[in-house]
Amino acid sequence: MAVKEQVLTDRYAIYNGDCVEVMESLPDESIDLTVYSPPFAGLYTYSSDDRDMSNCLDYEEFFEHYGFCIDQIARLTKPGRISAVHCMDIPLSNSGCDAMFDLPGRIISEHEARGFSYAGRRVIWKEPLMVRNRTMMKSLHHKTLCEDSTRCSIANADYLLMFRRKGENSIPVTHENGMLNYAGENQPPQELMKYRGYVGDQKKNAFSQYIWRNYASSVWMDIRIDRVLKYREAKEGEDEKHVHPLQLDVIERAVVMWSNPGERVLTPFMGVGSEVYGSVINGRKAIGIELKSAYFQQAKLNLESTENEITQPAMAPTLFDMDEDHED
């Protein structure tokens, strides 16, 4: 499959094509961080394209195809660096007595089989009423509680799984003056602002310590669920009603924690450009790949605004020393 369209700038490169084929053209150990949300094994349908993994017949077919993607990410990721995967448990029905498929567990085992170490997960809390209204799961209705509470379920959290490629990291990810910005609802108290960018003994940097206590927590309670890029314009009649981009708070936390300014961040399932956007506005360089043309076009529009939103300068003039087009 040829790349249908591409946009190459000094801050990002985005491709409308098959992620495995595009990744095959990138150099070994050229990626500092990968952040993405894969298709949830058939929970949502994004298109009718045969190459779209949301159209797999069953979980085994899904993981066969997803395995090719993980193989490429393992090849591209520098030793000691991180791949962060957003996922959730998958309800097997909407009967009011739902069993769950352990998608995170299977993703962990597939990564461990390909040279990654599982380094933990962040739990992203979601408000139950919002989940019920969005998914219409019978097991979350108050009526179900009243009639037979054994048939109730929980408002499934999202997870951000953290994998580290085996080997030694040759370039530490440093924060010389601590964390500078907080991505979340509960911003640092005003009295801590005087420590922002503190120069000196970081034990005294109360601003950064506030951020780190929240970021290091196993449960992220204050992710702003609706802080997402524009996506409704990219939806088509065949899309699921509740297609929703990954929250920018999640992306920005991962990007700032696990990469240095100027480094390369990859997202193989770009959607409307969220991970690319979150990387670029924080001074990283980004590579995004998206199969669906409507999402790619929306990503182009979303990324056009980044030139006025850069928080840190680019560290080099180009993304790659790559001149070749990905067109057959």
Nearest to 161 by CA among 28, 273, 52, 70: 70
Task: Note the pLDDT of residue 142.
Answer: 86
Model pLDDT, residue 318: 39
Give the DSSP letter string of 298-310.
Answer: HHHHHHGGGGG--
The tens-digit pLDDT sequence of the chain (328 residues) is 679 999 999 999 999 999 999 999 999 999 999 999 998 655 555 555 666 666 656 778 888 889 999 999 999 999 999 999 999 988 876 665 568 889 999 999 999 999 999 999 999 998 887 777 777 778 788 888 888 888 887 888 999 999 999 999 999 999 999 999 999 999 999 999 999 999 999 999 999 999 999 999 999 999 998 899 976 555 555 555 445 689 999 999 999 999 999 999 999 999 999 999 999 999 999 999 999 999 999 999 999 877 666 654 443 333 444 434 444 3
Query: Tell me, what DSSP letter sits at residue 177?
Result: T
CA angle 273, 221, 41 (to 5 degrees): 50
Beta bridge partners of 267: 288
What confidence score (pLDDT) does residue 289 get?
A: 97
Nearest to 83 by CA among 156, 144, 23, 146: 23
- Angstrom distance (rounded) from CA 127 to CA 4: 39
What pLDDT is attached to residue 47?
Answer: 57
* Residue 184 phi, psi dihedral angles, 5° rounding: 165, 175
Quote the CA–CA distance of 131 and 215 in Å, as a whole number. 23
Q: What is the pLDDT of residue 23?
A: 97
Q: What is the pLDDT of residue 235?
A: 54
- How much is the pLDDT for 149? 87
Q: 248: which DSSP letter?
A: H
Q: Report d(CA 163, CA 119) in Å as an integer.
A: 5
Helix (H) or strand (E) segment spanning residue 119 = strand 116-124
pLDDT score at 1: 64
Ordered by where they begin, the domains of the chain are 5-123+158-173+218-308 (3.40.50.150)
Cα torsion 112, 247, 29, 301: sign: positive
Query: Under 8 Å CB-to-CB from 148, ≥6 apart: which residues?
Result: none
